[in-house]
Amino acid sequence: MRVSRLMLVTLRDDPAEAEISSHKLLLRAGYIRRVASGIYAYLPLLWRVLQKISAIVREEMNATGALETLLPQLQPADLWERSGRWAGYTAGEGIMFHLDDRQGRQLGLGPTHEEVITALAADLLRSYRQLPVTLYQIQTKFRDEIRPRFGLMRGREFIMKDAYSFHGDEASLQETYAAMDGAYRRIFRRCGLRAVAVEADSGAIGGSASQEFMVTAEAGEDLILASPDGRYAANQERAVSLPPDPVPLPAGPATALDTPAKSSIEALATAHGLDPSQIVKVLLLLARFADGSVQPLLVSLRGDQQLNEVKLSNAVAARAPQGAGAVLEIAPLDAERCRDWRLDLDLSAIPFGYIGPDLSDGLLTHAGSGLRRSFLRLADPTAAELPRFVCGANAPDRHRLGVSWSDLGETPQVLDLRAAQPGDRCRHDPSQILEAARGIEVGHIFQLGRKYSDALEATFTNDAGFDEALWMGCYGIGVSRLAQAAVEQNHDGDGMRWPVAIAPFEVIVVIANVQESSQRELAEQLYGQLLDAGIEVLLDDRSERAGVKFKDADLIGIPWRLVVGRGAATGQVELVRRADGEKADRPAEAVVAELVERIRQERSGVEFGV
């Protein structure tokens, strides 16, 4: 391909719309253009990258025995009603684009395909003899993200590979899950990326075990907590650890404490010589469900600990009243929320800042419709295990000192709700201290179990002749996000540094001065030889200054640059490697063979994980 024919438009300055390096570079180097918020045109250079990534993904999926398919993006609402996800995905912070057709039937634009594929499985998979089976597709997905940002990292329209497996029993599901884990590791390695597998939260998809693959990069949105011995790594949303030991409270009877204007843990601790780990803090929150009902929550945590909102949301979902549907939102109980959600609650009766775990349900008795009349009371073990502690007295300007849970009556339900932090000791080995790293989630694999097959009645006949629900797994890779993650992990001040395996072209031949016929002729000759040798090569034949072309070559990040300049007259060319800037003069007659050999090695090197 000739650069003069490539419609290449590069930008010298950073576009204002971009914050992180990879997004700036994709725009500047002419790989993408923004069409609307979270919606991008993939220009020819990026399309080549996406096709290369897709080819690697396809090869590895096929190698596991998975079958490629293509499912509709327009999905009928009733399938999502049957799985119980329609309301959660369309109302409130739901991310599914949805519309009515001319007959007034509701449709959604596929953010994911569990419903469609499970309905197909119900239809097509009848016998244990057909199992296990895995289907995958590479396709555009639509998600009306709350905060689309960072270019292709969080788009509203993006390319995903999604796969779904069906099994007769859990052991078979675990086998395929392990095969996918292996395939994912090979895919990321072959793409030339450094990726780590971490334990993950299963989120709205549901199911039991799940693992994410993170490309490590400073600009990553996810926080990874890992042990230095390599035995534990988890997304912070999911991570567990040992909390620091609390400072014991000196013995003594339970007493009241006057604490005017000490409504924060910090103010209370400082004013009364307490350690935050001696205080139980109580968060007053509201959870709104898909059916519109609202559950008030009282969450107790040790004063030095932070709430993990994902854990809380999962805990509330698991305790949702029958028919309430998904948890749409959890938010602090305040005037704004009461107004927005039309809750008729007398806030003046609530002693904010002085609440104890035993705050009375009586406060809720006059509450408006939709609000449940009793608190869901939850406590993290850090709070529940304190023998004696300080907490609010449920009256303004007053706390209680030295109380125990038995003094407070009913004990809340105890479960892990705290956010693990870097610096915490690990559960598997307390001498290991959790370290933080940032990552970009490029893949996520789940053992779904029977959640969707139960809901959509996808059953098969087992070898004993009985009908059973299918076991399922699902496996996603963000193909377009992966392309940008590769840039985030591989760039420098001059531009991108594509790994050879997914670079749009492997070599760029630059004619330093197109007015010089000796340079033009030699470059054309080398270009032809490289093409004949099966190398993906660009020829920069533009009548630009040499400096401009070198800058562009660095910016678009082609792994090898062959410069045909003044030396052409004596048959000399310059070979430059983008990754480390290594430069060397070479006789033109030998350079093609050398390049072919080095690229062949690089291609197979990543394939075999060298």
DSSP 294-352: EEEEEEEEETT--B-HHHHHHHHHHTPPTT--SEEEEEE--HHHHHHTT----GGGS-T
Q: Which does 158 bind (CB under 5 to 8 A by kind): Mg ion, ligand ATP, none?
A: ligand ATP
Q: Which does 382 bind (CB under 5 to 8 A by kind): Mg ion, ligand ATP, none?
A: none
State in angstroms the smallest separation of the CB of 66 from Mg ion. 19
Cβ proximity to Mg ion, 28 vs 444, nearer residue: 444
Residue 107's identity, in one-letter code, is L
Residue 463's Cβ-count burial label (10 Å; 0-12, 13-18, 19+) is exposed
Cβ proximity to Mg ion, 302 vs 444, nearer residue: 444
State in angstroms the smallest separation of the CB of 201 from Mg ion. 8
State in angstroms the smallest separation of the CB of 112 from ligand ATP. 6
In degrees and rounded to multiples of 5, residue 605 shows phi and psi of -55, -50
State in angstroms the smallest separation of the CB of 241 from ligand ATP. 21
Among candidate residues 156, 398, 151, the one with its CA nearest the CA of residue 255: 398
Cβ proximity to Mg ion, 378 vs 474, nearer residue: 474
Residue 504 preceded by cis peptide, ω within 30:
no
Binding site for Mg ion (CB under 5 A): 444
State in angstroms the smallest separation of the CB of 248 from ligand ATP. 40
State in angstroms the smallest separation of the CB of 9 from Mg ion. 34
Cβ proximity to ligand ATP, 437 vs 512, nearer residue: 437
Q: Which does 281 bind (CB under 5 to 8 A by kind): ligand ATP, Mg ion, none?
A: none
Q: Which does 167 bind (CB under 5 to 8 A by kind): Mg ion, ligand ATP, none?
A: none
CA dist 592 and 69 (Å) reads: 40
Q: Which does 481 bind (CB under 5 to 8 A by kind): Mg ion, ligand ATP, none?
A: ligand ATP
Torsion of CA 562, 568, 570, 573, to 10 degrees: -10
Residue number, nearest CB to ligand ATP: 478
Q: Which does 478 bind (CB under 5 to 8 A by kind): ligand ATP, Mg ion, none?
A: ligand ATP
Q: Which does 145 bind (CB under 5 to 8 A by kind): ligand ATP, Mg ion, none?
A: ligand ATP
State in angstroms the smallest separation of the CB of 501 from Mg ion. 24
Cβ proximity to Mg ion, 155 vs 296, nearer residue: 155
Bridge partners of 75?
A: 108
Residue number, nearest CB to Mg ion: 444
> Is the backbone of residue 557 left (phi > 0), alpha (psi -120 to 50) or beta?
left
Query: 574 and 585 in contact (C-beta within 8 Å)?
Result: yes
Query: 254 and 401 in contact (C-beta within 8 Å)?
Result: yes
CA dist 520 and 541 (Å) reads: 8
State in angstroms the smallest separation of the CB of 499 from ligand ATP. 18
CA dist 610 and 608 (Å) reads: 6
Binding site for ligand ATP (CB under 6 A): 112, 143, 145, 154-155, 158, 160, 203, 441-444, 476, 478, 480-481
Cβ proximity to ligand ATP, 201 vs 304, nearer residue: 201
State in angstroms the smallest separation of the CB of 441 from Mg ion. 6
Cβ proximity to Mg ion, 477 vs 555, nearer residue: 477
Q: Taking the mean position of all CA atoms in its chain, how far away is CA 313?
A: 17
DSSP 438: E
Cβ proximity to Mg ion, 311 vs 444, nearer residue: 444
| Residue 131, number of CB atoms within 10 A of its CB | 18
Q: Which does 119 bind (CB under 5 to 8 A by kind): ligand ATP, Mg ion, none?
A: none
Cβ proximity to ligand ATP, 165 vs 295, nearer residue: 165
State in angstroms the smallest separation of the CB of 200 from Mg ion. 7
Alpha helices by DSSP H, listed for 91-163, are 114-124
Q: What CA–CA distances, in Å, run from 595 to 320, 526, 534? A: 62, 11, 11
Q: Which does 80 bind (CB under 5 to 8 A by kind): Mg ion, ligand ATP, none?
A: none
Cβ proximity to ligand ATP, 143 vs 400, nearer residue: 143
CA dist 445 and 435 (Å) reads: 24
